[in-house]
């Protein structure tokens, strides 16, 4: 479970010429230096509203703002839950996550998660932080997830994710027609000001960029390929809503049922019953952390997504 962390403080005069990361460890001893350095590098810790380096030298009097989320440490138990393994060797594992599976245990989801399944699949993953999980997918988003099986692999893959060496491509079904055949959405994303479980486009949020390409156009819908350049929470969902093309089934971000123009009853019934965002992590490409070889993997489209897609084609 993630909890929001926010701190506002002024650097005392006595910290003149100290490194920023060292000073913050003294001022906020409840957090590790590595975590503080991570916040600084990711822009979650700002000095006078500017992103700086951990080695930034202080003069005293600077205004520091920390605004981020912190993952609580939750002990998970192995559970005999089947997982769809797409690729596995001694260093990493890639699985096809089904719709409805939560990735990490949290409030109300202390069992039945991907982490529980992974710990049963390979007991050695208990020695790896977060059971080796490199990135996340929402509960109701299906598709490819990358898991490290050694600490060394995890460190390399996390660095590659941060430096955008890892590429993630999603399939999405959206309402309406996009303004262009392909394009980019570059809008900063932050926590919703009123609904803390949601994200929203905010000028003071974190920079976020999504590339999209139209695969097929239907009468009142589009089939898109979306590529993440950044990996903000709910990024594709927020960006597609901002573009005016919310994901089918995504009630949180504007994807409520809309009656189709087609008279095909089956399409109306499917759209009305589609109760999750029509989003699937289709492709994953990365550099193997041990061999350095490039790997490209794909996950089959889930049945509900495929059925809706075929019905949209029929109604077109």
**Which percentage of the chain shows pLDDT scores above 90?**
67
Choosing from 72, 90, 110, 138, the catalytic residue is: 138
Is the pLDDT confidence value at 1 over 70? no
Q: Which residue has the higher pLDDT, 2 or 17?
A: 17
Q: Which residues contact 18 (CB under 8 A, 6 or more apart)?
A: 57, 58
* CATH class of the structural domain 84-162: alpha beta
- C-alpha 136/C-alpha 147 separation (Å) is 10
Is the pLDDT confidence value at 270 over 90? yes
Choice among 130-144, 147-161, 205-219, 220-234 with the minimum mean pLDDT: 147-161
The CATH number of 167-315 is 3.30.2350.10
The CATH number of 2-71 is 3.10.290.10
Burial degree of 230 (CB within 10 A; 0-12, 13-18, 19+): middle
Q: State mean pLDDT over 143-167.
A: 89
Averaged confidence pLDDT in the chain: 90
The model scores a pTM over 0.95:
no
14-68 pLDDT, tens digit per residue, is: 788 889 998 888 787 657 788 899 999 999 999 999 999 999 999 999 999 998 8
Write down the pLDDT at residue 107.
65
Is the pLDDT confidence value at 3 over 90? no
- Domain 2-71 and domain 167-315 have a common topology: no
In this structure, the number of other CB atoms found within 10 A of the CB of residue 275 comes to 12
Band the pLDDT of 255: cuts 50, 70, 90. Answer: very high
Write down the pLDDT at residue 140.
96
CB 219 within 8 A of CB 188: no
Measured between alpha carbons, how far apart are the two ends of the chain, in Å?
42
227-250 pLDDT, tens digit per residue, is: 999 888 899 999 999 999 999 999
Write down the pLDDT at residue 296.
98
* DSSP-derived 3-state class of residue 86: strand
Write down the pLDDT at residue 184.
96
Residue 294 a catalytic site member:
no
Is the pLDDT confidence value at 149 over 90? yes
Domain limits of the chain? 2-71, 84-162, 167-315
């Amino acid at each position: 479970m993630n909890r929001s962390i926010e701190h506002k403080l002024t650097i005392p005069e006595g910290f003149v010429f100290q490194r920023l990361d060292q000073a913050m460890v003294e001022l906020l001893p409840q957090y590790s230096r590595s975590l503080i350095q991570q916040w600084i590098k990711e822009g979650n810790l700002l000095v006078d509203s500017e992103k700086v380096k951990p080695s930034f030298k202080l003069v005293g009097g600077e205004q520091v703002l920390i605004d981020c989320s912190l993952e609580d440490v939750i002990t998970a138990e192995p559970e005999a839950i089947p997982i769809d393994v797409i690729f596995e060797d001694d260093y990493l594992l890639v699985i096809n996550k089904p719709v409805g599976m939560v990735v990490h245990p949290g409030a109300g989801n202390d069992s039945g998660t991907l982490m529980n399944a992974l710990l049963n699949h390979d007991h050695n993953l208990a020695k790896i932080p977060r059971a080796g999980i490199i990135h996340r997918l929402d509960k109701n988003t299906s598709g490819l997830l990358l898991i490290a099986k050694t600490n060394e692999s995890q460190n390399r893959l996390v660095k590659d994710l941060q430096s955008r060496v890892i590429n993630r491509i999603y399939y999405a079904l959206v309402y309406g027609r996009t303004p262009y055949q392909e394009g980019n959405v570059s809008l900063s994303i932050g926590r919703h000001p009123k609904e803390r479980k949601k994200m929203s486009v905010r000028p003071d949020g974190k920079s976020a960029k999504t590339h999209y390409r139209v695969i097929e156009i239907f009468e009142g819908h589009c089939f898109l390929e979306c590529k993440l350049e950044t990996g903000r929470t709910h990024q594709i969902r927020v960006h597609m809503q901002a573009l005016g093309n919310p994901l089918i089934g995504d009630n949180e971000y504007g994807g409520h049922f809309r009656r189709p123009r087609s008279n095909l009853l089956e399409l109306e019934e499917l759209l009305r019953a589609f109760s999750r965002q029509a989003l699937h992590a289709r492709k994953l490409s990365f550099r193997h952390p041990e061999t350095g070889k490039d790997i490209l993997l794909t996950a089959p489209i889930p049945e509900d997504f495929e059925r809706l897609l075929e019905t949209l084609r029929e109604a077109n």
